[in-house]
Structure formats: C-alpha cells, structure tokens
Amino acid sequence: MVAIDASFSPKSGRTSYGLDWFWNGSQGQAERGLEISLLALVDVTHNTAYTLSAYQSQSQ
C-alpha cells in the first residue's frame, strides 16, 4: 500500500525557505509556516511505513 501525507510546521521567522500560508488540519485553518509532503510504502502486516520521497511545498 502507498500513502501520501502532508505535514504542517509552524514558523514565525521571515527567512525560512518556502514560508507561506498552508492549511493546518489540527487547527482547522490556514496558518503561516512550512508544509512537507511524504510518499511512503506501508507494510500493514508489520505496522511500518518506509518513506520513498519527501517534498517541501513551494511558496506561491
């Protein structure tokens, strides 16, 4: 099985690469920060996921 997950990381600085407004699902609103998307191979038998790719979303 393959899974895609986007994770939000809040940032308060101004110079972080990729800093922009992204959806923060835990807060239920868009917030300023960074977003990382992971593509993973999931082994449901052993409850383990192996990251195949990580991508930082670009700021608009």
Residue 60 has pLDDT above 80, yes or no: no
Q: What is the pLDDT of residues 13-59, one digit of tens each?
A: 788 889 999 999 999 999 999 999 999 999 999 999 999 999 998 87
**Considering its fold, how many domains does the chain have in total?**
1
Cα distances (Å, whole numbers) of residue 44 to 12, 19, 52, 53? 37, 34, 16, 19
Range of the domain at 33: 2-56
Predicted TM-score (pTM) of this structure: 0.75
What are 55's two structure tokens? 């991508």
Cβ neighbours for 38, distance < 8 A, ≥ 6 positions apart: 4, 5, 6, 7, 51, 53, 54, 55
Residue 12 has pLDDT above 80, yes or no: no
Cβ neighbours for 49, distance < 8 A, ≥ 6 positions apart: 3, 40, 41, 42, 43
